[in-house]
Each structure stands twice: as structure tokens, then as C-alpha cells.
Amino acid sequence: MSILKVARIAHPVLRSPAKSVPKAAFKDPLFQKLVDDMRETMYEYEGVGLAAPQIHEGLRLAVIEVAGDDERSKAEVPFMVLVNPVITPLGEEKANGWEGCLSIPDLRGVVPRFKRLKLEALDRDGKPYSLEAQDFFARVIQHECDHLDGFVYLDRMQGMRSLTFIKEFEDHVHKDEE
Ligand SMILES: [Zn+2]
């Protein structure tokens, strides 16, 4: 497995809509290796999700995993692969929460996201699945699926006043919230 180079904001791949993964890909060892490498890359940079455009692949593919001890999450999310995902919000309710992105290093900002949603996608073998997600899990899904349409979390912020460097977040913001 390899650690992949992460595209940073302003690279065109992050601003272009990604292409659907074709059926033939699932049997291709290179596609399976890509999924494994994305998993490895997500672990290396301690992300909770990674979308293919972030590693310079314009494909509708993302990986997600949230550890049980993640302070932002109420529930552990085991490693999952989202291929050609479609999300449908369940209800109108949105919640504000902090987000960061491996493609926008060192920064965090407050982003409103739908609280609950339905996800329909294919797994890494091309098998369809669907699930309902809420809170932080739903937030991560929305963040990753945005990458597949050329959006980053900055585009979803209501304003830039919450934007903070991670160090200053730990020094000032995080303390205020405790
Ligand atoms: Zn991101």
C-alpha cells in the first residue's frame, strides 16, 4: 500500500465534478488498490474521510472511518467505502459544527449541515447499500460527497468569522467550549 499525495485547494481536481465509477472498475485490481491506498492515506493524515479528488482522482469515490474515541463523534463509524454516493436529507434541520479538510491544511471552520440524511451508494465490490446517518456521521458524509461535486467546506460556511488555525482553535476556541 502507498500513501498518496493530497491535492490542496486551488488544484483544479478539487473544483471539478468527479466522474461516476464504471461497473468494470470493481474487478480491476488497480481500483481495489486505489481504495486501499486511500484508506492508508486517510490514516496517515488522521482524517475521518477522504474523497478521490483529494488524491488527484476525479472519481465518485470516498472512504470514511471515525474512531470510537473521536471527540467530535457520538458513535464509531467502521471503515466504509462510498462509490457513486447519493444523499437525501431527512428533514430540513441543520446543525453547526467544526470541520477541517486535508486539502485545506491547518484550518477549521463552522459549517451548517443537515442533521440527518439517507445515503445510497455502492461498496468496493459494486454492491448497493443504503443507510441513515445523523450528527457527525452525517456531517462527514456531506463533506466527502461535496468533494465529488467540486465543493469544499469553505463554500458552505455562512461567513468566515469562525475560520481558525488548528493551534489557535486549541488555544482559544476549544477552551471556550469546555
Ligand atoms: Zn475535505
Residue 12 pLDDT more than 70? yes
65 is catalytic: no
Alpha helices in 25-173 (DSSP H): 29-44, 135-148, 153-156, 166-168
* Short-list 77, 96, 37, CA closest to 61: 37
Distance 131 CA to ligand 1 centre (A): 21
Instruction: Give tens-digit pLDDT for 15-45.
Output: 999 999 999 999 999 999 999 999 999 999 9
Ion ligand 1 nearby residues (CB, 5 A)? 101
CA 157 to each of CA 44, 111, 175: distance values in angstroms, whole numbers, following the listed order: 27, 5, 22
Instruction: Give tens-digit pLDDT for 75-102.
Output: 899 999 999 999 999 999 999 999 999 9
What's the pLDDT score for residue 73? Answer: 78
CB atoms inside a 10 Å sphere around CB 171: 11
Catalytic residue among 144, 170, 177, 178: 144
Beta strand 94-101 with 104-114 is antiparallel
Distance 86 CA to ligand 1 centre (A): 17
Cell of 1: 500500500
Distance 125 CA to ligand 1 centre (A): 24
